[in-house]
Amino acid sequence: MSLSSNDIARIRADFPILSRKVNGSDLVYLDNAATAQTPQVVIDSIVDYYSKYNANIHRGVHSLSQEATEAFELARKKVQQHFNIARPEEVIFTSGTTHSINAVASGYAKLLSAGDELIVSALEHHSNIVPWQMACEQSGAVLKVIPMDQSGALDMKAYEQLLSEKTKLVFCNHVSNALGVINPIEELIEKAHQVGAAVLIDGAQAAPHIKADLQALDVDFYTVSAHKFCGPTGIGMLYGKKERLDALPPYQGGGEMIATVSFENTTYADLPHKFEAGTPNIAGGIAFGVALDYMNSIGFDQIAAYEKELLILATTELSKIEGVQIYGASHQKTAVLSFNIQGIHPYDIGSILDQMGVAVRTGHHCAQPIMDFYEIPGTVRASFSFYNSKEEVHRFIEAVKKAKAMLS
């Protein structure tokens, strides 16, 4: 079941920002892969927290602290249920995907030794490359790269050849941020486990479109950022299997993450607190739970079906424009169109689109290795969400045509 135009009109009314104007035109927001917009219920949950029960959690005996703690822990349960995670303590609240990956990488830096190997995909965001390079520098481990082909698909044969008993960890995004390609993570995880390697999947770009069942995937670590799917910025999840998280040294020291502290010795708290040093983003965590409720009330099957319609419509119409080159033509894609027009710089297209109220992303999308692969300075990326209407797709196409006419 997809969403009807009536559904979309109702959904759009939930997002106050969608009715604003930009440069005199109605906003057409197609930068959803960078950050998604926030529905009123999520905004209200933040206001509600600060208006009614703002208090530090897990320590106060007073009522406000208890209310805040319950709301925060309820959010953890919502996240647990959403991703079908076995235990609530396997849900670590972080500031987002980058923080989550850094927490794992810095722990691994201490666990790895010289000669160990890590495998990364060629499709990664810089935040799933750099923390591992840092871990390699510290530990003497070696980073290997799974190559990609022209369509943006990973070379799984090459991947198999890279795997060995030296492989300690494989990390890859579920969906590429620059191209929108869905990676074959089931196969990737299974093969890694055959050699005893752990797998970290960066789910930042997948979470808005795909409801991942983490137990079925049998993944070791999975990371998301709430702001990519209707939640606020500054909050996200690190999922880790209990035994993996138990084995991982803590990332930051501070309050909440300890069991006992003396100047001679400190023992660490149990999960999830071991990885949640300091006062967390309480309002953010609560709002994260509300965002999941909101998206589930629409339904991920409906969202996926409707976004596919948007992607097909946009791809068909964009392909009609002469000189358009779409990157990542894989069949397995979320609603992302990364493209260029022959002879025109992406910055120029983005600038003209902005004048018409159409928000897209231009540049290398923090994935320079992909741009180097295609030998381009960057792309224009239009990324769609379930609240985008088909009229907006047409406005986007008209704006691209106008930009092309002006710039040719």
Closest CA to 65 of 54, 75, 49: 54
Amino acid at 234: G
Give the separation between CA 96 and CA 101, rounded to whole angstroms.
9
Contact segment (CB under 8 A) with other proteins among 201-209, 263-271, 340-348, 385-393 equals 340-348
Token readout for 257 is: 């993450």
**Catalytic residue chosen out of the listed positions 136, 172, 230, 366:** 366
362 binds other proteins (CB under 8 A): yes
Which residues 266-305 are close enough to bind other proteins by CB under 8 A?
none
Nearer to other proteins, 293 or 354 (CB): 354
- Smallest gap from Cβ 326 to other proteins, in A, equals 20
Closest CA to 388 of 346, 328, 339, 336: 336
347 binds other proteins (CB under 8 A): yes
- Smallest gap from Cβ 81 to other proteins, in A, equals 37
Residue position matching structure tokens 């702001």 = 227
Q: Is 230 a catalytic residue?
A: no
Nearer to other proteins, 236 or 378 (CB): 378
363 binds other proteins (CB under 8 A): yes
Nearer to other proteins, 215 or 342 (CB): 342
- Smallest gap from Cβ 25 to other proteins, in A, equals 10
Contact segment (CB under 8 A) with other proteins among 94-102, 147-155, 253-261, 352-360 equals 352-360
Contact segment (CB under 8 A) with other proteins among 95-103, 127-135, 242-250, 341-349 equals 341-349
Nearer to other proteins, 238 or 352 (CB): 352
351 binds other proteins (CB under 8 A): yes
- Helix 300-319 to helix 282-298 angle (10° resolution) is 80
- Residues in the interface with other proteins (CB under 8 A) total 18
Give the separation between CA 335 and CA 29, rounded to whole angstroms.
13
Q: What's the first-to-final CA gap in the chain, in angstroms?
A: 41
338 binds other proteins (CB under 8 A): no
369 binds other proteins (CB under 8 A): no
Draw the binding track, 16-55, toward other proteins (x: CB under 8 A; -: no contact): -------x--------------------------------
Nearer to other proteins, 34 or 326 (CB): 34
95 binds other proteins (CB under 8 A): no
Residues 6+ apart with CB under 8 A from 255: 277, 278, 279
List contacts with other proteins (CB under 8 A): 23, 344-348, 350-352, 354-355, 362-364, 377-378, 406-407
